[in-house]
Structure 1
Amino acid sequence: MDTTRMEALIGMVTVLGILVLLVLPAVIGVMRDRRIDRQLREAEQASALDQRGHQDQKSSSKPTVPSTATWYAEGRRSKKLVSS
């Protein structure tokens, strides 16, 4: 191999290396986006299956108790009605 061919080979390898460095982040981003899309699709399918299987179930199985503020407000309202 003479000097001209060696310089051409080094130049070509350098250009290909720079091209790989420029394209690599885009390829990684596309792969990441596809993975996220697949996970979202799987979550939607699981959610749809879960909703179809549990349509009659209420949002919470434990009973709710009014807060202190509700008790206080109800007492104040009843006192107002009685005094009028």
Structure 2
Amino acid sequence: MSMDTTQTQALIGMLFVLGLFALMILPAVVGIVRDRRIDRQLRQAETRPLPRRTAGLRAVPSDPAGPARSADPHHTARAA
């Protein structure tokens, strides 16, 4: 069984439309998945107990190194 020209063109057209549909739906699906992940993280943060403070000391962060910061003061450019 072979396809004639009309059937081949119809198949190509249908695949093209389905491909465009997938490209249009993909950003929405990615956004939904991202929102669900954020919601899950927020629910976990609500149920997680807060770190306890003792004798006025700050709670130690889980990453003591943290981001590197410069000791130089920041200057903004001024218009002439």
| Bin of the TM-score, shorter chain as denominator length | 0.5 to 0.7
More helix by share: 1
Runs of 4+ displaced beyond 6 Å = none
Separation in structure 2 between the aligned mates of residue 37 and residue 62 of structure 1, nearest angstrom: 32
Please state whether the residue corresponding to 2:55 is helix, strand or coil. coil
Give 2:13's aligned amino acid. Answer: G
Q: Which runs of 5+ in 1 are unaligned?
A: 64-84
Q: Which has the higher contact order (CA 8 A, sep 6+)?
A: 2
**In angstroms, what is the RMSD of aligned CA positions?**
2.1
Q: Which runs of 5+ in 2 are unaligned?
A: 58-80
* Rg (Cα) greater in structure: 1
Is 1:7 aligned to 2:20, yes or no? no
- Figure out how many residues of one structure are paired with residues of the other and give that number: 55
TM-score, normalisation: structure 1:
0.58
TM-score, normalisation: structure 2:
0.61
Identity over aligned pairs, percent: 55
